[in-house]
Chain A
């Protein structure tokens, strides 16, 4: 669905999304990489479990929360990709466990 503009150049950055290698570019945000990789549905709401995707792309809506290099609930739209970065989707809803009843 998303395509890179033809006149954008930059060094290649190797990342993994849920363990699958993906080739992003220097200057991409993690959210941009997720959209380009066709992994837009990167999370789910904590209460209803509905799928969420990067939306505002400017740090306001908190719909793009993912786990980056083991740290949960990072805003994908505010973090630039780095070589070797490990991204796990759906981290937002699952990183908190219910207290024992």
Chain B
């Protein structure tokens, strides 16, 4: 079969763009097939944390995979800046989860301990701190902050600039970016793939599904399985720009390089990303104000809601198709945190034609089809 490209990446968000960049660095001829500007795009609505603490309860390998990406992030930020001139403002000053009651603090400590007690989990540094210890690291916390957890590996970026940097970088490396190419069919034939899009057919030797929640629909076309939630909505509240007062990102509050304060990490079951729920954003704003009383005086300039890309069990899915060799799927909630792994680890495996079982077998979708015990 004649091929237009070595590899077609379906989805031009942070996951697809990171993989495409990694593939282009491996000298592959790559096309990104993307939806238009009105796509449900988690890459434009996310909270931009590069986050380690509190991940991996239920899948211990996810802890190591996350720490690996956090460790590779400085290199990713430096390379993107060298190549594109864009500073994605990556910082890893360590981050907090703050508790506003003794009960929250106790629950937090239990979660960290449960992650640590899993068999085979790597060691990771998280400390439970009291009010005074936190105040030393992060002045300005309110009196109702009873304590929290601190992980020195946690950080954050400017994720909109990351999105732009990846897109500029892939184009500089000759990747063909095609927006408004919504994929509605994929057929595997004689060692290649024919991809039917709303703007015509594209042929490629391999195909990578990186379409977020839409992977659920695409995966069965190439013998893969990607069960996604599709209704995991979060909301974000943004203040006007303020002089820098947050030295560290908090899982629910962070200050961007430009000074705005983002308040986030809500969760509700809803699939409409065009609405806000006042009851929820009010609680978010109130908790942020109690954590940092300086926010009493802050003006809110915008709010939005966005659907998280969320596999059924919350953990990443990386898989290769047995019935359609050359088809891969990659989807995860943490497209920002894991961007470095996607570029430096996953993409070279896809270029070589096989996922490395030692590293990625725990993330196969086979985990969703455990045979019933006899």
B140 within 8 A of A: yes
Tell me which residues across on chain B come within 8 A of A98, comparing CB atoms. 243, 245
CB < 8 Å neighbour of B240 from A47, A62, A101: A62
A65 within 8 A of B: yes
Number of B residues, CB within 8 Å of A: 16
* Among B240, B244, B294, B298: residue with most chain A CB under 10 A: B240
B339: min CB distance to chain A, Å: 24
A101/B301 contact (C-beta < 8 A), A46-B243, A73-B240 known: no
CB of B259 within 8 A of CB of A99, answer: no
Digitize A15-47: 1 where CB-to-B-CB distance is under 8 Å, 0 elsewhere.
000000000000000000000000000000111
Q: Could you tell me which residues of chain A, from 65 to 101, have a CB within 8 Å of some CB in chain B?
A: 65, 72-73, 92-93, 95-96, 98-101
Q: Give the size range of A's interface with the partner.
A: 10 to 19
| Interface of B: prevailing SS | loop
Tell me which residues across on chain B come within 8 A of A46, comparing CB atoms. 240-244, 258-259
CB of B257 within 8 A of CB of A47, answer: yes
Tell me which residues across on chain B come within 8 A of A96, comparing CB atoms. 242-243, 245, 294, 297-298
Q: How many pairs, one residue from A and one from B, have CB atoms within 8 Å of each other in the complex?
A: 42
| Interface of A: prevailing SS | loop
CA distance A88 to B183 in the complex (A): 54
A47/B259 contact (C-beta < 8 A), A65-B240, A99-B245 known: yes
Q: Could you tell me which residues of chain B, from 216 to 252, have a CB within 8 Å of some CB in chain A?
A: 240-245
A47/B243 contact (C-beta < 8 A), A99-B294, A100-B139 known: yes
* A to B CB contacts below 8 Å, 30 in the list: A45-B259, A46-B240, A46-B241, A46-B242, A46-B243, A46-B258, A46-B259, A47-B241, A47-B243, A47-B244, A47-B257, A47-B258, A47-B259, A62-B241, A62-B301, A65-B240, A72-B299, A92-B240, A95-B297, A96-B242, A96-B243, A96-B298, A98-B243, A98-B245, A99-B139, A99-B140, A99-B245, A99-B294, A100-B139, A101-B139
Contact residues of A with B, CB < 8 Å?
Answer: 45-47, 62, 65, 72-73, 92-93, 95-96, 98-101
* In the A-B complex, the 7 residue pairs with the closest CB atoms: A99-B140, A46-B259, A46-B241, A47-B259, A73-B299, A99-B139, A96-B242
